[in-house]
Structure 1
Amino acid sequence: MKRESLETGDSGKRDVNRHRAGPLSIAERSTAYRGLLWSQSVLLFGTGLVFPFYLIFLRESGSSFTQFGLAYGLFTMSAALLHPLAGRLSDRWGSARVLFISAWGTALVFLLLPLLSSVSQLYAVQIVLGLLGALQKTAEKALLADITPSDHRGRRIGAYHGWGAVFSGLAVMAAGGLVDLFSIDFIFYVGSLAVFVSGCLLYRYRSVSSVSGGD
């Protein structure tokens, strides 16, 4: 009996989402889906403002093409290395909590971008952005699977990514005008604010944070 209790406790620690609450009702799933949809669409708006023009920022920082390639390689490789750990953290802490960390961490990094003054700082930022991106991508997909019922999961996921693409596209178009009116630094600050707001929206939709893993 004691051993069975210990095993149950270990299982609960490994899967926070599943054991923190019972299965969600249809209404709760719908609310959680809307919360995730809006929060990650706003996040994509923020990153859509920054990343296309961040490429220009990197190139104009005086980096050679070799340094430019290395910077993006570090971004990709750091993300690749963290994805497995991000999945374990999502299971242990809950996907919503991992998304909080990713959103507010990314918002902070965006504020630091205009302050970069050396290639070594650029490399460090690329590694951090890669790690935060891995947390976001893995936790987003895990949570999306949890809150979409299996009988029409494909339709919900398709709509989810469609809205995300719309917000991302609008951001790129808006960013061009903002750069002309203000500066590249300005869109980094606006992007940071949007990504921070995406984390706040996750908190606003509390049901996102109490998702069960079952169908």
Structure 2
Amino acid sequence: MEINVVDEDAQHGQPLLEDQNRSSAPANQNQKNIVQKAIDQTFKSTAHLANLLPTGTVLAFQLLSPIFTNQGQCDNVCQYMTAGLIAICGLSCFVLSFTDSFRDKSGNVCYGLATLKGLWVLNGEDASILTPEVVAGYRLKFIDFIHAFMSILLFAAVALLDQNVVSCFYPNPSRETEEMLTSLPIGIGVICSMMFVTFPTRRHGIGFPISSS
């Protein structure tokens, strides 16, 4: 006596393996969409972070980064040079956070360094042309140190978003490292952006938008 076992999938003409491939296709597509959204968000975050940093410093870093890192193919010398570049640019962001600007009688922009007594003018006329009330607004404050510290964090986030820098120091990152390098800069950007909005700065220093007063 013969027993004919008819496969249910065969009756419908749909092999089981094909069903599995079709069912997994949307999942793979969703994963790709998530990755693409994360990449897009990363590039958008880079642009927003750069707006809160000195333009000249960010531009210099972006120009020199491919050269110092040899486009991500780093040896020991390139790593030291890249680390030095990051340190100098970070220090520049910190110092420039204490600079400010004003317009003299002729309407020319004068830059200066904030001190406890007022503004130490670096170019143009002396700050004595300003009234004592105006000079008091240029004095060094505690919030300036907070902004300077956040500027360093923001620049560190920009550096971590640079593919050449990441490839230089992490040529073969693990999965956990990749996740950290993706999420950490965005987290820093969100927190620092919120801090800048909550505690805004009125300074218009070197590399920032020019003061209108």
Q: Which one has a larger percent helix, Structure 1 or Structure 2?
A: 1
TM normalised by structure 2 equals 0.28
Q: Which one has a larger percent strand, Structure 1 or Structure 2?
A: 2
TM normalised by structure 1 equals 0.27
* Bigger relative contact order, structure 1 or 2 (CA pairs below 8 A, ≥6 apart): 1
